[in-house]
Amino acid sequence: MTEASKVLDIDRLLGLDDYQFLTGAYYGSGGFKDGSYLVRHPRETPEKYLKRRELAYYLNYVAPTVNSHVNPVFNKEPEREWRENPLFSAFAEDTDTLGTSLARFMKRAGFIAKLQAVAFIVIDNAAEQPGNMAEVLRQRALPYAYIVQRKQVKSYKTNKPGKLIEMTYTIASEVNESGEAQLETWTWTTTKWKCQDANGEKREGNHPLGRLPIVPLYAKPYEPGNVLPQSEFYSIAKANKRLYNLCSEIDELIRSQAFNVFTYPIGENQSENDIREIVTGTENAVVYDGTLHNSPQFTAPDSSSLVELRQERKDLIVEIYRMAELSHVTGVETKTSGVAKEWDFQNTNQVLRDFALNCEDAERETARVFELWTNTRVDLYSNYSDDFGIVDVAAALDNAGKGLDLNIGGQFDVEVKKKAASVYLNDLPEERFDAVMEDIDRRAEETQQAEDLNSA
């Protein structure tokens, strides 16, 4: 068996789960990196297939579409307020014992949730509690959070309304010198916890929470009890896999048929050996009998297949953005009505709002678990911005100009100018933005005063 055949046999035996597939699609790793996601043609030799895998390139549309669902939500720092609580203040500054703030921790959880449909935030307490507050803060002997991904979940139970009442998952406790993770298996119920280390040793105990210290952060609203839903980006990743194959097929076609073939007619009494020594090129000339009916020429391969594949690739990219609720950023020039464009923007903003609300709920639930662990009050107020700046700036400014052309004047013109400024300058620092708003008011007052003087 050749080396190429061995590679193909191994690839057929490999089974990848959704987590590996989605992670590979986002980072360009796994089968997108080594080319194993390329589908072998029926009559393609193993050697040629391996060469095609080596030349394959990945146009990653999964990462930008996932990022576009997360970055706008965290673009502005959420408003957070809580009671005077030094323990929670320390938790907000260092949520995971690694120096990660609550804001950065939630954004990391948000990326995982969007890509994998859900991320589980586990809030555990320090094993030992010092006797005074100063030592608690100095040693950071207070609750901390970490993220459990869906691939780590081994089992779970829900009650009739769909609330989690038990979950078992694995997590790396340490990494040995060979780079292999030592896994612990944790089980939480509403009253107990169990832990089994990599050596099989077990520990267990009770906890006072009356609930699981686990907060699911979902990518979108799901039915209660659907603990491990299918990722909304799975179909996009599958489409990107097809796009990956299309790019390889287009590249193969270009490499095989891109160059014209030089043809040199020969007569009945001519031998093929007569033209074997002909050297063609831009610095050479080919002499032939001008009385012949047929002359040397270049013949081009049929380009219809290449055109068709390129059009399919273009259509697939448009569909990827459509599935991601991002039809307005495809870069495809189409005549779209203002109503249709506004509808696209509203859909995108609604998707972002739903996710922002899920993040707010997850933060508040995290604070509630913290309250139960520490027997203190937090009363966290968390408010994510619902202004994501997803608007058609050109259309908004055009409408503002049309509004000013009505010459209504007065407060109407002031509000139109402020709305136009809020659309066009929404990324300005708050102080500079406020200065622009004040300048609009000041100019309106000066104009009004001048008009009053002229009419006096």
For residue range 172-203, what is the model confidence (pLDDT) as tens digits? 877 677 667 788 999 999 999 999 988 889 99
SS3 category, 39: coil
Query: How many other β-carbons are positioned within 10 Å of the β-carbon of residue 143?
Result: 22
- pLDDT at res. 11: 41
- pLDDT at res. 6: 44
- pLDDT at res. 267: 64
355 vs 91: CA distance, rounded Å: 23
- pLDDT at res. 282: 61
- pLDDT at res. 168: 96
149 vs 144: CA distance, rounded Å: 17
Calculate the CA 33 to chain-centre distance. 18
Q: Which residues of the chain have pLDDT under 70?
A: 1-16, 128-139, 175, 178-179, 258-262, 264, 266-293, 298-303, 327-345, 388-399, 423-424, 426-427, 456
Question: 103 with 78: CB under 8 angstroms?
Answer: yes
- pLDDT at res. 14: 44
- pLDDT at res. 332: 44
Domain spans of the chain?
261-299, 391-456
- Which burial class, exposed, middle or buried, applies to 212 when counting CB atoms under 10 A from its CB (0-12, 13-18, 19+)? buried
Is the whole model's pTM more than 0.95, yes or no? no
Distances (CA, A) of 98 to 93, 104, 146, 152, 369: 10, 11, 10, 21, 20
At 326-353, the pLDDT tens digits run 754 444 444 444 444 555 567 788 889 9
Question: 183 with 173: CB under 8 angstroms?
Answer: yes
20 vs 29: CA distance, rounded Å: 9
